[in-house]
């Protein structure tokens, strides 16, 4: 997969809904009902972060849910890429980007949403062919105001800002011409996941999908 092909596919996934849930799931038993609630609520693109021991099993279970497009977040190494693909991930997300990671994703045919924090990082990825990128950590890097400023000289790059994004500030990002969607964890709070309140999560998803 070329960087251009990866970016086109990543953009398609980002355009499925205004919000991509960023999910940290400790128990694989929660995976299918959680994914079903989010998809039913209008959020089909799901990012499962590789921050728990259960993450790969969670991806496997979520990949079975009709209408969902499951990706793996926090990809750092080629081993992460292989494990994510083997588990059924359809896209990858990284907090940054290294040549080693980019090579691994391209070789594996996994569309990657590579993270950037500065104009220089965005330009380096654009030089390689990546026109769809992740702005991270969004709020710590100056929020929507900073992303809008970065977009002025780089209009060909579109972003998914993640990190500190909430229901309250998501509209600020979504109102920018260089934002395709936002990534956020507020649609699946740990308390609701652990208690199995799938109706509550579906409600939060519907609210997010309407942004």
> How are strands ordered across the β-sheet holding 158-161?
115-116, 132-135, 158-161
- Rg of the chain in Å (alpha carbons): 16
With a CB cutoff of 8 Å and minimum separation 6, the contacts of 198 are 33, 34, 36, 37
Q: 3-state DSSP call for residue 153?
A: coil
- Catalytic pick among 90, 134, 158, 202: 134
Neighbour count for residue 120 (Cβ, 10 Å): 9
Distance (Å, rounded) from C-alpha 68 to C-alpha 102? 25
Of the residues 47, 61, 106, 202, which is catalytic? Answer: 47
Residue 134 annotated among the catalytic residues of the structure: yes
The Cα diameter of the chain in Å comes to 46
User: Is 158 one of the catalytic residues?
Assistant: no
Q: CA 114, CA 146: separation in Å to the nearest integer?
A: 18
Residues contacting 20, CB < 8 A, separation 6+? 13, 14, 43, 45, 46, 47, 160, 162, 181, 182, 183, 184
Is residue 178 within 8 Å of 157, Cβ to Cβ? yes
Report the catalytic residues: 47, 134
């Amino acid at each position: 997969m070329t960087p251009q092909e990866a970016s086109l596919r990543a953009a398609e996934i980002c355009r499925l809904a205004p919000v991509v849930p960023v999910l940290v799931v400790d128990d694989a038993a929660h995976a299918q009902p959680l994914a079903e609630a989010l998809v039913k609520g209008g959020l089909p693109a799901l990012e499962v972060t590789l921050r728990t021991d259960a993450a790969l099993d969670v991806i496997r279970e979520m990949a079975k849910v009709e209408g969902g497009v499951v990706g793996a977040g926090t990809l750092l190494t080629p081993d992460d890429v292989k494990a994510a693909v083997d588990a059924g991930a359809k896209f990858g997300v990284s907090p940054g980007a290294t040549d080693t990671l980019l090579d691994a994703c391209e070789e594996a045919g996994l569309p990657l949403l590579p993270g950037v924090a500065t104009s220089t990082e965005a330009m380096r990825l654009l030089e390689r062919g990546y026109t769809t990128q992740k702005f991270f950590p969004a709020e710590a890097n100056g929020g929507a105001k900073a992303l809008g400023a970065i977009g002025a000289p780089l209009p060909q790059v579109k972003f998914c800002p993640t990190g500190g994004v909430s229901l309250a500030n998501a509209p600020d990002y979504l109102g920018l011409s260089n934002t395709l969607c936002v990534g956020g964890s507020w649609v699946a709070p740990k308390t609701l996941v652990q208690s199995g309140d799938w109706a509550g999560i579906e409600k939060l998803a519907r609210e997010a999908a309407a942004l």
